[in-house]
Structure 1
């Protein structure tokens, strides 16, 4: 791991692989960490230089500053751009899941000149409702992430992954429970404001959408709507996969990326 000071806050990141290979930037889901990509690294590193990072208040990244009471998609897109600068690379491939997909949509809409391609998974131009996200934000601030993780984490994974990996849910409950309550709450509020429906019509970024048949947070129809708004081709829906394909089917997901980014 390494650390970057960006806008007065410390970001934890990893930059792995040969500097002569194209850069692939990976953005993790809300409540998780950059560890979601670990099982994909053996397949990706022979072909790419890989950059991952922890979102505000997640993993080993510092919490969002007290002086600011709002996080925007542009704030997170600028983190990705600042990290890519460490790799001395102007343009990069981007992959983002869930809130990572919202970061990707911001990059596509406002910074398309920086992208070689974007692969967005388990996300949407709109995700849920403002009321639901604001309620979750308030509950996290009242109850804490450790308590909230009990009900949230099981929604991330499909039945197949839970059956094959009995400790999966409990392990990620521990990780989520260690996050910063306030940063998580602010990210929830950000997701309640996200609406890319009118922002993705004019871009030239090669864009691919991937979802899971068992995803209850961003079901296939959410990806299908995003395809219409963004001009992307019909999304690929992975059978028996929930919200986090990098954890549930890392080999299949890695191969899809390698085939697509060729």
Structure 2
């Protein structure tokens, strides 16, 4: 396991060096209530195309909870500091859900350093104040276990729930074991973010992907994001929910590979 001190706190990351002769570097930014293991199957498909950087967002996985987190820019600061620590000057970002929002912020900050931008099941604004405040209140009062069943229903397709019940239980454990404060801080950051202006300014070649069964960021909503970003491509993964890197990793990997080629 690899750890680095960023802004005085510990961040857990993984840097995989590709054996390919000519490589890019992929930075993966994961979703709310998950750690970087959600990318495992996609990484297996992509590591021959480039180096891989994975990390647990602050308040998730094995990374510290930062008590002074105030918004998505703080999460983007962590990613930028990790890239600087690893001396990465050119990279491809793959961001999922809130990770896709963080990726949009990074694209606005480093327009010449990002080669490609892949935004999965995300938007320029996710949900509304009432939705997030209700969730935050419930987690504060009753813990993550009180919301996990409903969240997990949106994470994966109906077929995945039916045929991969053991995996579903495992990922529900991942969600429930996320530090409550880290989860709440990420919810607050999503609640307070509106990246409309940022999305309109992105010039990086961009691919927006969404699962056909995603009820958190629906295909229609992700299409709105693609329409805001100049020249962005838009693809739907049939039969996926909110986290296609788990319920349809081979299709997601192929879309990424075709796009970077």
TM-score (norm 1): 0.94
Is the Cα–Cα contact under 8 Å of residues 33 and 60 in structure 2 kept in the other structure? yes
Is the Cα–Cα contact under 8 Å of residues 130 and 189 in structure 1 kept in the other structure? no
DSSP-derived class of the 2:105 partner: helix
**1:244: which partner in 2?**
243
**1:125: which partner in 2?**
124
Is the Cα–Cα contact under 8 Å of residues 115 and 204 in structure 2 kept in the other structure? yes
Q: Structure 1: how far apart are the matches of 2:233 and 2:114?
A: 21
Listed as ranges, the matches of 1:144-183 within 5 Å are: 144-183=143-182
Structure 1 residue 258: Cα displacement: 1.1
Structure 1 residue 222: Cα displacement: 0.9
Structure 1 residue 131: Cα displacement: 1.3
Q: Structure 2: how far apart are the matches of 1:177 and 1:203?
A: 35
**2:61: which partner in 1?**
59
2:36 to 10, 34, 44: 34
Q: Which residues of structure 1 form unaligned runs of 5+?
A: none
DSSP-derived class of the 2:200 partner: coil
1:190-220 per-position Cα deviation (integer Å, ceiling 9, x unaligned): 1111111122222321111000110000001
Structure 1 residue 42: Cα displacement: 1.9
Question: How many pairs align?
Answer: 259
Matched, 1:10 2:10: yes
Q: 1:40 to 1:234 in 2, by over 3 A?
A: closer
Structure 1 residue 229: Cα displacement: 1.8
Structure 1 residue 4: Cα displacement: 0.9
Listed as ranges, the matches of 1:1-262 within 5 Å are: 1-18=1-18, 21-65=23-67, 68=68, 70-262=69-261
Judge which range, 56-65 or 4-13, deviates more. 56-65
Is the Cα–Cα contact under 8 Å of residues 147 and 177 in structure 1 kept in the other structure? no
1:6-43 per-position Cα deviation (integer Å, ceiling 9, x unaligned): 01111000001238621100011101110011111221
Q: Structure 1: how far apart are the matches of 2:70 and 2:159?
A: 34
1:235-259 per-position Cα deviation (integer Å, ceiling 9, x unaligned): 2011111001110111111111111
Q: Structure 2: how far apart are the matches of 1:45 and 1:33?
A: 19
Q: Structure 2: how far apart are the matches of 1:26 and 1:234?
A: 19
Q: Which residues of structure 2 form unaligned runs of 5+?
A: none
Judge which range, 156-165 or 70-79, deviates more. 70-79
Structure 1 residue 56: Cα displacement: 1.6
Q: Structure 2: how far apart are the matches of 1:232 and 1:122?
A: 18
Structure 1 residue 234: Cα displacement: 4.6
Is the Cα–Cα contact under 8 Å of residues 208 and 232 in structure 1 kept in the other structure? no
DSSP-derived class of the 2:196 partner: coil
Is the Cα–Cα contact under 8 Å of residues 123 and 223 in structure 1 kept in the other structure? yes
Structure 1 residue 166: Cα displacement: 1.6
